[in-house]
Amino acid sequence: MHGTEAPSQWVTRWTHLLSPQSQVLDLACGAGRHMRWLAEHGHNCVGVDRSPEALDAAQAFGQVIHADIEGGPWPFQGQQFDAIVVTNYLWRPLMPAILESLHPQGILIYETFALGHEKIGKPSRPEFLLKPGELLQICMQMHVIAYEDGYSDQPPKFVQRIVATPQVPASGQQFGLGCR
């Protein structure tokens, strides 16, 4: 079942930026591997997925929402989160809603497959693979903290990864402080 493996190293590397007890949205959460990691670190998690079986497992780590976010309405209209985590998922029409759901001082942690991956595995269809620099383009109005684009060998995949916040913090302000 999707979401039972260890949390992404990209997510674990950057969650220290979140303030204590952050409200975190895990988009396409599967069985909640990132919800588990975040809850263990004191964060309040909301996970959304279209698989009721996966959500049965994820509910142990926070609130879960069963929704088809590609075919139905955005279930978080008017809500904002201190952090949004997305891994191994891409549905381009949702990008504006995702960014609007991020608190102005929140943190976006995003990692998904990129062009080139079709040569080594699935997903292989272009609509599920980011084009070169696409995450940077999507986040061009944000402050990018970290970005990677290329091949990763554990496990083998072509990915783009980004950590970004909507606003550049004031001098001396730490990321994640004041989010709510």
**Looking at per-residue confidence, does 179 or 1 come out higher?**
1
* Total structural domains within the chain: 1
- Give domain status of residue 75, yes or no: yes
* pLDDT over 50 (residue 177): no
- Give domain status of residue 170, yes or no: no
Indicate the range of 52-61, 96-105, 152-161, 165-174 predicted with least confidence.
165-174
* pLDDT over 90 (residue 115): no
- Give domain status of residue 81, yes or no: yes
- Give domain status of residue 1, yes or no: no
Radius of gyration of the chain (CA): 15
- Give domain status of residue 55, yes or no: yes
Residues 142-149: what's their mean pLDDT?
A: 95
* pLDDT over 80 (residue 144): yes
Q: Could you read off the pLDDT of 6-48 as tens digits, one per residue?
A: 999 999 999 999 999 999 999 999 999 999 999 999 999 999 9
Q: Give the pTM.
A: 0.89
- Give domain status of residue 131, yes or no: yes
Residues 82-110: what's their mean pLDDT?
A: 96
Say which DSSP state 59 is in: G
Q: Select from 164, 157, 160, 163 the least CA-distant residue to 5.
A: 157
* pLDDT over 90 (residue 56): yes
Q: What is the pLDDT of residue 169?
A: 58
**How would DSSP label each residue in 76-110?**
TTT--EEEEEEES---GGGHHHHHHTEEEEEEEEE
Residue 29 belongs to domain with CATH number: 3.40.50.150
Number of other CB atoms surrounding residue 145 within 10 Å: 15
Q: Select from 141, 147, 144 the least CA-distant residue to 159.
A: 147
**Model confidence band, residue 156 (pLDDT cutoffs 50, 70, 90):** confident
Q: What is the pLDDT of residue 14?
A: 97
- Give domain status of residue 109, yes or no: yes
Domain with 120 in it: 9-165
